[in-house]
Structure 1
Amino acid sequence: MPATVLVVDDDVAIRRLLRNTLERAGYAVVEAMNAQAALAAAGACDAVLLDLGLPDRDGLSLIPLLRRAGDTVVLVVSAREATAEKVAALDLGADDYVTKPFDSDELLARLRVALRHRGGAVPGGIVRRGDLAIDLDRRTVTRAGAEVHLTRKEHDVLALLARHIGRVLTHEKILAAAWTGEEEARVEYLRIVIRNLRQKLEAPAPIGSVIANELGVGYRLRAGDPRQM
């Protein structure tokens, strides 16, 4: 059975565009023009593409309600570009945030990633991306079969991203999870760790960025074959 996607937007043209895009990709599509209709339909859908500017209530307030309605993927598709809006949506439980105007292929790719990981964080095992293998249980990382030596903090951050591969994690979430106890948690320290990880994971021959930077928001470990990035 194809996945069912609920498109929530009060703009008829946007709903039509998304319906055509999704149906060509093989999805079943349900439409809602306001929050009330969205909440009524969400329980029967696998994913929601949610606009924030709805006529009856702000879309941000819908995100926790949609998450409670079931094991539903929530992708915000909004013209709001402010970093604070993106961070708020992700902190409320959105799986991803795409700004309008959007590239249809990128939107479909992000939807596929979110649906693959609908069950939540990866509990353990090995996360693979191209020739990179991250063993979450043994805390080891190999690239093309050769071990990559990481510091404890680099392991902590990479493992966190790997458990949520394809999803954006805000700076605050990463800092809260990886900097604990008496350690000082600062974004500058996180940036240094990310820079070191990129150097180690992409050297000596970079084959596509492993860790994506969502400017001003956070980071995500890219899913898929890096040779196609």
Structure 2
Amino acid sequence: MVLIIEDDARIRRVVNLTLSAEGMEVHEAATGEEGLALLGQRSFDVVLLDLMLPGRDGFDICREIRRTSEAPVIMVTARSDSHDVVAGLEAGADDYISKPFVAKELSARIRALLRRSAASPAQRNVIVGDLDIAPHNGLVLKAGVPLDLTKTEFRLLSELASTPGRVLSREELLERVWGYDYFGDIRLVDVHIRRLRKKVEIDPTNPAVVITVRGMGYRLGT
């Protein structure tokens, strides 16, 4: 089930028709407040969120969604410069797509998010310092306390845990976590790594769990 939060009725209609034709159940909201109200009433698999909304903008709405929902958020923006994209991802979006977009590409991204949500990258627990990663039951403990990770953050950590000691490139992580490569943006990986480190590291500026290997990618600490 997909929720579209978009003030342009024409875009809502095109996206609704495209996704409905592919068998997805679609609900619409013209403002951020309407979208939050719908999220409070039912559970959605994916939220498509316009950045430039009347009243509360998409950044604010995304932060609010993240406080109450684990649904993956795809941010839709007419502004594709680095600052706005990174700000949207930092606000909690899982992915972004720039206007104007091809409806079929959007559909592909949504399906990739749905597939990865259903997949499990590993079955055994991995221990890194005081972190206990249990991919099979969707749980990560830090010093025995469950961490509040988004689905993307959990998936990212689980993929690194599935190959302990091995360096995964940004391109590999795009394919494994987001389910696509050729139209992916490696900024997705870097921003989510920063967000993940804030939750799993004792000192995010000196990471011991998610290690950067310069010029190669990321690996899990030992």
TM-score (norm 1): 0.59
Pick closer, same or farther for the CA change 1:161–1:32 going to 2, 3 Å: same
Partner of residue 51, structure 1: 50
Contact map agreement 1:67 1:74 (CA 8 A) in 2: no
Partner of residue 25, structure 2: 28
User: Quick check: 1:173 aligned with 2:193?
Assistant: yes
Q: Distance in 1 between matches of 2:15 and 2:55?
A: 21
Q: CA RMSD in A?
A: 3.9
Q: Distance in 1 between matches of 2:193 and 2:36?
A: 27
Partner of residue 154, structure 1: 167
Q: CA deviation at 1:94?
A: 0.8
Q: CA deviation at 1:111?
A: 0.7
Unaligned runs of 5+ in 2: 125-158, 180-187, 218-222
Pick closer, same or farther for the CA change 1:37–1:125 going to 2, 3 Å: same
Partner of residue 153, structure 2: none
Q: Distance in 1 between matches of 2:216 and 2:62?
A: 31
SS in 2 for 1:31: strand
Pick closer, same or farther for the CA change 1:23–1:173 going to 2, 3 Å: same
User: Quick check: 1:193 aligned with 2:199?
Assistant: no
Q: Distance in 2 between matches of 1:40 and 1:175?
A: 26
State how many pairs are aligned: 168
1:120-160 C-alpha deviation (Å, 9 max, x unpaired): x967349xxxxxxx884453xxxxxxxxxxxx5735x5699
Contact map agreement 1:136 1:159 (CA 8 A) in 2: no
Pick closer, same or farther for the CA change 1:171–1:62 going to 2, 3 Å: closer
SS in 2 for 1:101: coil
Q: Distance in 1 between matches of 2:67 and 2:192?
A: 23
Q: CA deviation at 1:35?
A: 1.2
Partner of residue 113, structure 2: 114
Pick closer, same or farther for the CA change 1:58–1:124 going to 2, 3 Å: same
TM-score (norm 2): 0.61
Contact map agreement 2:90 2:191 (CA 8 A) in 1: no
User: Quick check: 1:86 aligned with 2:85?
Assistant: yes
Q: Distance in 2 between matches of 1:135 and 1:56?
A: 39
SS in 2 for 1:154: coil
Pick closer, same or farther for the CA change 1:123–1:58 going to 2, 3 Å: same
1:5-55 C-alpha deviation (Å, 9 max, x unpaired): 111111111111111111111111111111110110124222211101111
Supply the AA of the counterpart residue of 1:108.
S
Question: Sequence identity, in percent?
Answer: 33
Partner of residue 217, structure 1: none
Unaligned runs of 5+ in 1: 127-133, 140-151, 195-229
1:81-125 C-alpha deviation (Å, 9 max, x unpaired): 121111111122211000011122221111112123347x96734
Partner of residue 8, structure 1: 5
Partner of residue 219, structure 1: none
